[in-house]
Structures are given as C-alpha cells and as structure tokens.
Amino acid sequence: MIRKFHIVAIPIRIVVNKFGDHDPDGMMYALKENESLIQKKVQHHPFTPVDLVEPLVIRANAGDDIEITFENKLPFNTSMHIQDAEYEVFTSDGAFVGINPDTTVKPFDKIVYKWKVNFEGLFFFSDLGNPLSSELGSNVHGLFGALFVEPRGSWWTDPVTGKPIKSGVFADVHNPILPSFREFGWFFHDEMEVDDLTGQKPISPHTLQPEATHAINYRAEPMRNRSRLIQEGVVCPDCEGEEVHHDSWAFGDPDTPILRAYVGDPIKIRLVHAGVQETHAFHYHVHQWLFEPTDQDSELVDAQAISPQTHYTVTPLYGGGSLQGAIGDAIIHCHLYPHFGEGMWGIQRNFDTLQDGSQCYPNGVPIKALQPLPGLPVPSKPTPQRPGFPNFIPGIFGSKAPRPPLGIEGGREATKIEKNHFAPNARPGAVFVNPCIPNVTPEREFHVVLIQRPIIYNKQGWQDPEGRLYVLAEDEEDVLAGRKEPEPLVIRANAGECIRFKYTNKLPETIGGNAFQLVNRTYEAGMHVHFVKFDPLVADGANVGWNYDSGVLPGETIEYQWFADVELKATFWHDHLFPNEHQQHGVFASINIQARGSKFLDSHSGKEINAGTKATITNPLIPDFRELSLFVQDFSLLFDKDGCPLNPPPFPGSPEDPGVMGINYRNEPIQFRLKEPDFDPAYIFSSWVHGDPVTPMLETYNGDPVRIRLLQGAHEESHSFNLHRQRWYRERPDLDSEIDQQQHISISESFTLEFNMEGEGDFDMLYHYGSLDDIWLGNWGIFRTFEKMVPHLIPLKDREAPPTRKDPLPRPTGQKPPMAQQPGKPCPPNAYVRKYDVVALTTRINYNDDGDHDPHGIIFALKDDVHDILEGNVNPEPLILRANVGECVEVTLYNQLDEDAFHHGKEEHGYPDVPVSALFPPSKRISIHAQHVVYDVRYSDGATVGFNQDQTIGQNESITYRWYVDRDFGSANLWDMADIRNHRHHGAFGMLIAEPRGSTYLDPMSREMVYTGSQVVISNPLLYEFREFALLMHDGVRLVDVNGKLILDPEPLLIVSEEELEDFEDQGSRGFNYRAERLSHRITSINDVFKAFSSEGEHGDPSTPLFKAYPGDPLTIRFVFPADRARAHAFVIHGHKFLRSQNDVNSSIVSVKGQNTVGTNDDFLLFYGAGGLLRQPGDYMYRSGNIRWDIELGVWGIIRVLDHETELLAPLKPHSVIMMDQVGGDSE
Amino acid sequence: MDINSLSKQLGIEGGDINAIRQAVVSREFKDNKGQRALILIAPYPFLIIGTIFEVVSDYVVIDAQVTNISELDDERFSIHIDDIEVFYIQKPGRPEIPDIRKEHHD
C-alpha cells in the first residue's frame, strides 16, 4: 500500500507551558492540511501551548510504501532524513552527502521522498539541511518527527473521540488479529532555546540565575515557574518547591504529556531522543519492560539511557498499572536530576473508572473522554460513592497532596469514600492494590532511617559535611558514632517475598548555605523504589500528579510495602521529594532481590547479615556467589580538608557539573598518587607504592561466581564501567546477548555483571569508570582474587576449599614494583602464534587537510611503519591489529617516546582540563592494555595495578604481552595504562579485532596481505568474504590549527559562543581515527550549511576514512570508543541497518548505536551488504548523532558504494572462487 | 534405502526411541511414587519440588511443596514428561533435595 503525506517545514512559535515559556524561533514539520490551522491557532494563543503544535507523528503499516511531498518554508535548506527505512540514497536521503545529488530542499521549494518500511517500530526523521549545533540549527528548535510503523492490517483512532486520525503523537492502534493498544510518542529533546513570557532567558527564582529548559514533545514543566507561584503565595504557601514540583493538587496537571489509559490496557511508548546533546535516562515509575521488546530472554528494565537520535519501543509488562493493577499516576521522567527540574517529565495515568467526558479533575478541569479499547472489559462508571481515581482522594486544590491513609504512624483516618476504593486485603503501605496474599506470601521486615552525618571520602580529607544516607535502624547509632563506616544501604530479599518497611525521616529541615547550594528546605523525604511491585498511590515515596504525597516529615514514620514478584537485580531506591537537593549527598540505596531460598552472609565472618554492599549469597539449588554492589556518583559536593569547595559551580545551586565524583561514598583521586622523586603516573594504581585505594576492594577466590551489581546513585553524568580481564553477558538472562567488559550507566539504571573469576595465582584487576573525568577524580578501584586461603574471606561452601596459604600476603613497600618477567601462558600449546612488533612514539598527527593537527600525538604503530611516520611520509592512523579466533597474539611493545615532544612538562596540563586540576607531569612510560582477550593478569594486563608487577615500560625498553583470542569477540579497545591523563587523548590507543578462524586480511585494492589498516577485506575459506571498516570514535583531543593556535573546542559555528569553555566532559576536539572534518573549513555562512557534507567544490571528500564497497558487498563495521571524556555519543549510519545485538536475531533492527563512551566496543553487521536492501550505489554518511557539537567538529565520514568496478577497489571473490584458488594453490 | 537399513544407520533399529524414552521416564516416576522429586520445566512455574503422586500415561502428577512462585506452593501439577527438561528423584541414600522455604520457616 502506498501512503502519501504532504509535509511542510514551517517556522512556528512553540509555547512549552502555560507559564508562557516559549521558543520564538521554533520549527516543526506539519501536515499540509493542518498548516494554516496551526498558524491560526498559534496566532490566537500566543502565550499558551497549542495542541496541534507537537512533533509530527505519521503512521503506516509494515510493508507499506510511503511517499512524502516535502515542502520547505524555512529560510534555509531543510530536509527529512529518515532512519531504518529503505530508500534510494540519490533521491530520498534528505541530505547532501559526498557525490550524491542534493536531497535537501531550498526555501519555498518541494521534493518527493519515497520510503519503504518492512517492520514494526519507530522510524525517526529529522532535518539534515541545517544540522548546526547552536540556535542557528533546526533540530534544537524542533525540526524532527517520526513515522510509527504498526503491524500489518492495523488502523488507528483518536483516544478521545475514537475516530480515525492521520497524525498525532497519541493514538489507539487496532488490528483484526492482535490486541488493540495505546500508543504514545515520547520525544525527549534538550537544550531548546526557550524564553520566558517576557522574551528573556528564564530565570530560576531560587538562584536568580538563567536556567536551561529540557522538553518532551515540545512541552516542558520546569520547577521554576511552579516555585514562583509558591513564592507569590498563590498556592501552597508553606511548600518549598521540589517536593510539590509534580503535584497536581498544588498546581493542576502539567503541560507535558499525560499518557492516559485504563488499568491493564496494553501500552507502547515509542521513545526517541530527538534532541542534540545529552544522553538522558528515561524512567517510568511502577512499570517494567523488556529491553528488547521482541525477545523474551531480554533483560528487564525500568530505566534506559538514551543518546541523541536513538530510539526504543517501551512495552510495559502487564499493561497500565503493571502486575498489581495499580491505579493512579506514574511519573515518567529523565532521571538526570537537573533535567527533571528543568521540565523533562510527564505522567502516565491509569484510571479505574470509565471516562466519558462528563467527569472533572479535582480542580474543575474536565477529564477528556477516553475510549475503552475494544475487546477489553469496559471500566465501571463512576458513582458518588465510588468516583474512581483521582476523585476519591480527599485533597484540596491549591494545597499539597494529602497524606495516604493507614501508613503514617499517628496519621489520619481514611474517609468513607477512600475505603470504598480499598483493596480487599488493604493494609498500611498497600491500600488500593496489594499484590501480597495474606498468610501465603512470605514477609520480610526492615526499619530504615534516613540520617545526616559528615562523610569523609578519602585519606586526603575530601568530605561531605552534609552527607545523607539511609541506614537500618539497628545500625543508626553505630553509623552516627563512627563505629560503622558509612556506605550506601544495600539490603536483600528473596524472590516471592513481601517486603514490609517502617521508614523514619530523621533529616534536618534544611541543607546547603555554601558554595554549592543555597540554603534550601528539605523537610520531607521518602523511599521511592524501582522494579518491585507496590501501590503507587501510597508507597511511591513521591508526590506525583493526583496521588497522595507518600513522603514524611522529620520525625515521622511511615509504612511501605514492596512485593518482589521474581528474582531481580539490584533494585534502586532513593528519595523523590528533594532529590535535586540531596541525592548527591548520598541518598540512594538498593534492595537486591535474590533467587528464592537464598541466604546472605558476611564475606568475612560468614554470619548472616541484614545489609552491606558486599555479601556472599548462598542458595541450596543454585551456585553460591559473591555479590558486590557499586554505586557510582557525580555532583558530589565535597570540600577539601581545609573546607574549600572542590570544583565549585559558578554560583550556588548551579547545575553546571559542580563537585567531584565517587563510588560508594569513596574516591581515590589520582593526583594524590604521584610519588617522589619521579611523580610518575605509571604507578598511580600500584598498591606497592601507595597501598590499596580507599574505594571498594572487591575480593574473591579464583573460580568464584561473581555478580557485580552496578548502579548509579547520583546525579547527572554518563559513566562507563570497565573491568580488566573478566567478561559477562550484556543482558544477563540472554545467552545470545553480547559478551562485554564495559557498561555505560546513567542514574537509576541497574546492571548485573555475572562471571566466574578466571585466572591463576593471586592477582589484582583494575575496575574504573572509563572517562578521564572519572578516573582523575578517583572513580577506580581494585578487584583482588586469591588462589590460596586468606583469613578475611570465607570460601564458598559449594566449591572446593582453596589451598592453605604459606607465604604472607604482600604489603606496601613504597617502592616501584619489579617488572613482569614473562608474558604468561594463556594459550593452548598448539595455538598459532601471531606476533606484532609495536612501537609507541610521539609524532604529529594531521587531523584534516586544513591544517588542524595534534603536534604532540602519542601513537602506537607497527615497527615497519615507524620510519615513514617519523619522516612525515605517512599521516598516522590508529593502530588496528587483527587475530583469528584460536590464535595466540604476542605483542612486543617498544617505547620510543620523546619526552621533548610532550605538550607540557612541569606546568599544569590545562585545556582540555579536568575538575580539581593539579600538576600531573606526563609519564615517559607506556603500555598496552587489551579488552576481551584471555591473558594472565599478572604479566600481560598492560597496567601496573595493586600488587601486580610492573607492566609498563620506560623509554627504550620493551615488553611482550601475550593474549589468547578464545572467541569471536569482534572489536576490542587497546590503550595505554601508563598515563590516562596525558597519553590517551593524544592518541595512545588502538583496536584489536578478532576474526573468524582461518581468515586472511587483504588490502582492498591489491588483495595483498596486510597487517593493519582501517579498511580491509576479510577472506576465509569457509565463509563469504566481507569488507571490514574499522572506526575509532574519540574525543578530548587537543588540536592546534594551521597557525599553531590552540583550538578551544567545542567552538560553535557562525556564532560567538556565550561561554568561554564548556563543561569538562565536553572540552576537547573529537573525531574518527585521528581525523576530523570540521565544518568550519567547509562553510562560511548559514546558506552553505546544507552543502557541508558534499564533495562537490573545493573541499572534496572528507579527511575521515572514506570506505569503499560495491553494491551488495557484505560489510562489517568494527567500532570502538577508546578515549576520553564522560560525554556519551551516538553513532549513526545512513541507509543501512544492523541488529542491536549482533548474535541475537530477536534483538531490534537499528541504524544507530547510542551511549558510546570510553570502552565501548561493538560490531555492526550491516543487513544486505553495501547499499542496503536496494543495493544502491552512492555515498552513505556515517556520523555522530550528537548534533551538538560532534557533527560540526568533524565527526562524520562516508561509505562510498561504487556503481562500477574501478582499479581502486578489487571486487570481493565469491566463495566458489576462493575454494578454487585454494585448490589451485595447494596443487602448486 | 529401506526402512530397516535407515533405522540401522540412525542407530534406532531397536524400535521407536521416543516411545522407549517416554516409557523409561514414565517408569522411573512410576517406580518412585511417593518420593520427592525436583523438576525443571520450560513453562511456568519452571521449578517444582514435590512428591510424586501418580503417573498417568505420559503425565506425571506431582504434589508440589515448593515452586519458583510461592503462591503455587502446595498445588498439584500434571506435567507432560516431554516438558521435563531436568529431573532428580530423591531416593534412599541419595542427597536430599533442599527446602528453599527454610529461611522463613525454621
């Protein structure tokens, strides 16, 4: 079926809330038939949101052809570039790339795009005519939308009227075979250029400083406006602000999306990040869903990180209200607290009574009708005695939400009408639904207290004088008295249990009054939990919509109830009343839900414990394991030992990345681990020199099963957990998911990293959080494993006891450790040994043809290539090594670093800078650490960690590392571990690729064997040949221009930047493979932006790798992210798709990969080969999805699919020819 | 190739291997009526520990003491033996099947 749409890109004033916050320069896609109506309505309602002003969502069915007549009414070229659909790149790419014709549209012109969609899901489209990062660009102003593709035979209706609709973010979708469902489009978009009612930049009434706005579907409900109503005494005069930010009793409903359903309705949220910069965290209260919606083995999630231009379909299990059938409001928000405060939240509302349009909300606003879904029971009509949610709740509009019945000790009586809505088994903490069955569901009880006490983070006296933490009541005195070290509370329960809480708020009434925070009341707090099943009306630990306020005042105690229906991972909980003020002080915790029948033991004494981040879990049926819970934190508002604030913000209360970081209230900043006389960064991780770090020491015996519970407690940044040597399945329940050694995490996400400790002898492995920012501030630690018995660690009962220890354990000596004397023996004796001689050297790297370069590059190169590099005959590329599965790799590394070529010596490093900067001279030593391979950590880890021996080398020394490639892991990062601060961002990284057994690596032009290179042919006697394109995306680079002038990136194009330097995580240039095709060299005015990617004219092809293939050639992209900052990036490829999890045919088909950060390694096996399904020749862009600032800074390139054979590219050989070649070869 | 040679080639000349397997497994359960068994099945509730009550044709009827789901403890299940992925029958002299309810009932 052909579906035709006429779409216009128009300028439009976008009002994002009733307070008049607006983008005067908004832009949107609209259906032509709605264009004049939209403009008229906006003209008549200039200060309030207009319903039709929403991101354009059109719909089709799987298998449909789509024909778009696209008309541009903006003053520059615009386009519609669609992801995931099939299209001809010459006519419908919506971009002007390489040698392709221009498919952007000039002002007041038209084009016809043709797309074909073959599967269900969300197909994001956005403008690529003007992808500028600043307010001059189009995406930041709203020029994006989506095509939602439904199962074949579907149709869609308006949820209010039941009539068919042609567009709209919300619809009820019906199908003759499948159940109907509620479909909600949810477009996150950030950094919108929003003014307040008066046309000024919005000012926070709390800080009196300008504030950003983050939005959903062109709407934002920031706290600042609502707080002003409190300050003016209009509503709730005794309130502070944050505790009622989401309270509809105080303010009425927000203007952000309200996703309405009846309890049990099937729901699909089509979630997309249409914004430009941040990686957000989508969190949906009460509900959980499968990470891969079409894969029953997939990981269960209730929060997901989402990078720009990536998307998911969120299908909550059990529909609206989840398993327990909860009625009421479930907030959906970006969990990054500053964004939450700046407007990025909405509500999913579950009604229990029929809404036919005749009811009103408690503030008198009519409740729009909601058509029941066909095939489901029609909800009962509301009656005066049983009015249904929200009208049975005895609140007063204009005041804070009422407190729940039953739960609060000494609280009020329930009203008669409330009682009419009680569940039959109502009890405190589970009043309106209670999934626990009396006398059947086993119960477990805790009394939790929230307290304040100073927390010291390290031996240098970095401290949080207002540390706030949950503790068990039985530990409160010991923690306050200092007899028990403060750590995030981790409690445990077993699957199938009903967990009953008493919770007492013992916090002081205020916080702050220092360089980080203004004085703020924080008089109310609760326990908001993820994953487990509860009654959100009374036990959400929050104050949301028309629900009750389930926090309590200081001194009050409330009962909550959680039901753990199944074995879960670490289940995050925290306060939801004042999290923006105090979660970064430590208000986060976890309940880890174990398999039924488990017991939780202290790993030291073997006694049963009620709480603790570390435990030994025993179970009579499944193997015992070590459980280690790690909470990473940022925005930690610490002071040094002298009381000076560490990395204070520009003004108190500023969300501009204040403070430092930590793990479980600890950090070990590397600036304190330089030792006289050399101050050599190569030994910062060495326990011989410095003793063990204060960060959590994780300990096991060799062979022990381990589950690391990975959480982020606070507050805004992306972190990247990396662990040396050990590997786990990315989705724990799914054996088809990828094996990994790294995990991106954003706040509120939870991951379980499960593995058995592999290795021999006693050894130490580094764990760290990837980015320079993290490691610099001390987010690293040691995982220690023992071969022989130690007195402080009980053996696992179901494993053979470790042998008795005769030699004493090592102790710090203050001296550098001796060099590792041998590479270890990780390989089977008959494995083929592949040897590489690699040299580390300092050299200039040219990042493009316009003179931008790193004069102080530090690179790895094959020994044979060093001469040409040093002579300037070759502009270096990152080292890419390959080996086949089953092979033993021996890398001999030579150190030829020239210390005179370092960019700084004894002075501070400066830009790209780090928080709490300090003198940190560059190391003259170097090493290579490899991900994914099997090796003996004592000798070939490439890092000098804990009590391991030295595995870095000094100038003119060499070392051999031995790695075994035991499986087809694809891409892996290689990087230096001698100096994270000074080497990595100058290029001290590379890539190792595991190829199928028996493969040879060929030059794509000559088909000669090659030893390195980003573009090769992989030939194999059993498999088809494929082209392999290797990309290393990296940031934090320090470049100078052709005149030797330092480039201070990010440097927005065509405008004068308001800020001198961006946040630390954004400082530095970026690129692919030491190349950056910066748009600043390709365009001079906004009228040229659409031409930026074109190879026509003087600029020609970009300097980034130009990959070549013939139509249909099998293509694999090897992708790693080795360096350097905390900012996460998306990777997008035009016109091609791949499985999100390459070995899992049930995983989603996508054309973008988000959350790329230090340690990311992935492989994209492109469907149908070069040119996609249609095998179209042409230029296909690969690029970052971060419009701010990556694309401008040159993070893009081209895959060129050639239409006819040229001598520049040898064709791939069909399998039959390879076989014949073999026969011929053998006979010679 | 005739059916006899084909059976020989496949190593199943002795008869219908599925019938034999069914018969053997059924007999094993039948012979152990009244004993405790641990059964893993792919369908819900995945894990059943209980006493073998009866074997009817190729169905095992088991009185569950414990399952993966506490609400289904003490229920009676009829399980087709083809659904059984793993089983263990507690016989005299063999290790005891642990009771994973113990932590809250002892």
Contacts of B104 in chain A (CB under 8 A): 442-444
Q: Which pLDDT score is estimated for B21?
A: 85
Model pTM? 0.95
**CB pair distance less than 8 Å for B70 and A599:** no
Closest residue by Cα to residue A257 from A266, A269, A249: A269
CATH for the stretch A833-1201: 2.60.40.420
Distance between CA atoms of residues A1037 and A1046, nearest Å: 11
B101 with A621: Cβ contact below 8 A:
no
Q: Do the Cβ atoms of B103 and A599 come within 8 Å? A: yes
Inter-chain touch B98–A621, beta carbons under 8 Å: yes
Give per-residue pLDDT as tens, A822-880. Answer: 999 999 999 999 999 999 999 999 999 999 999 999 999 999 999 999 999 999 999 99
Contacts of B39 in chain A (CB under 8 A): none
Residue pair A827/A888 in contact by the 8 Å Cβ criterion: yes
Q: Quote the pLDDT of residue A1211.
A: 97
> Is it true that A2-351 and A833-1201 share their CATH fold?
yes
- Does residue B65 lie in a domain region? yes
Q: Is A1 at the interface with chain B, CB within 8 A?
A: no
- Check A597 against B69: CB less than 8 A apart: no
What confidence score (pLDDT) does residue B14 get?
Answer: 67
What pLDDT is attached to residue B104?
A: 43
Check CB contact of A733 with chain B, cutoff 8 Å.
Answer: no
β-bridge pairing A705-714 and A625-636: parallel
Would you state the pLDDT for residue B6? 80
pLDDT tens sequence across A998-1046: 999 999 999 999 999 999 999 998 889 999 999 999 999 999 999 999 9
- The distance of Cα A901 from the centroid of its chain, to the nearest Å, equals 36
Q: Which two tokens stand for residue A563?
A: 């039901």
> Does any CB of chain A come closer than 8 Å to the CB of residue B98?
yes
Residue A597 has its nearest CB partner, among B38, B69, B100, at B100
> Within a domain: residue B10?
no
Task: Answer whether residue B105 is part of any domain.
Answer: no
- A620 in reach of chain B (CB within 8 A): yes
What pLDDT sits at residue A585?
98
Return all residues near A142 (Cβ < 8 A) that are at least 6 apart: A12, A14, A23, A26, A27, A28, A55, A189, A192, A218
Answer whether residue B9 is part of any domain.
no
pLDDT of residue B15: 72
Minimum Cα–Cα distance from A563: chain B residue: B70
Q: Which chain B residues are closer than 8 Å to A437 by Cβ? A: 71
Map out the domains of chain A as residue ranges.
2-351, 833-1201
What CATH number is given to the structural domain containing B52? 2.30.30
Smallest Cα distance from A333 to chain B, Å: 32
Task: Kindly list the residues from chain B whose CB atom is less than 8 angstroms away from the CB atom of residue A441.
Answer: 70-71
**Architecture of the domain defined by A2-351:** Sandwich (2.60)
Count of alpha carbons within 13 angstroms of residue A626, beta-carbon side:
27
Instruction: Establish if B53 belongs to a structural domain.
Output: yes
- Looking at the complex, report in whole angstroms how far the Cα of residue A497 sits from the nearest Cα belonging to chain B: 8
Give the residue ranges of chain A where pLDDT is below 50. Answer: 1225-1228
What is the number of other CB atoms lying within 10 angstroms of the CB of residue B5? 10
Which backbone phi and psi does A193 adopt, to 5 degrees? -85, 85
Q: Is B96 on the interface with A (CB under 8 A)?
A: no
Domain that holds residue B81: 34-92
CB-based contact B101 A442, cutoff 8 Å: yes
In a domain, B22, yes or no: no
Number of domains, chain B:
1
Cα A747 to Cα A349: distance, rounded to the nearest angstrom: 24
Select from B100, B105, B106 the residue whose CB has the most chain A CBs within 10 Å, as the one to mutate to test that interface.
Answer: B100
Chain A residues near residue B70 by CB distance under 8 angstroms: 440-442, 496-497, 596
B45 assigned to some structural domain: yes
| Residue B54 belongs to some domain of the structure | yes
pLDDT in tens, B62-81: 999 998 888 888 999 999 99
A380 by Cβ neighbours in 10 Å (0-12 / 13-18 / 19+) ranks as exposed
Rounded Cα distance, A124 and A139, in Å: 12
Residue A1226 is predicted with a pLDDT of 44
How many cross-chain Cβ pairs, A to B, lie less than 8 Å apart? 37
**Is B103 within 8 Å of chain A by CB?**
yes
Encode A749-798 in three state secondary structure. CEEEEEEECCCCCCEEEEEECCCHHHHHCCCEEEEEEECCCCCCCCCCCC
The pLDDT value given to residue B103: 47
Within chain B, residue ranges assigned H as helices are: 3-10, 17-31, 102-105
Cβ-contact A156, A171 below 8 angstroms: yes
CA distance A617 to chain B (A): 13
Q: In sequence order, what E strands does A664-779 have?
A: 698-701, 705-714, 719-723, 728-729, 739-740, 742-745, 750-756, 763-768
CB contact under 8 A, A442 and B102: no
B103/A597 Cβ within 8 A: yes
Q: Is the pLDDT score of B106 beyond 90?
A: no
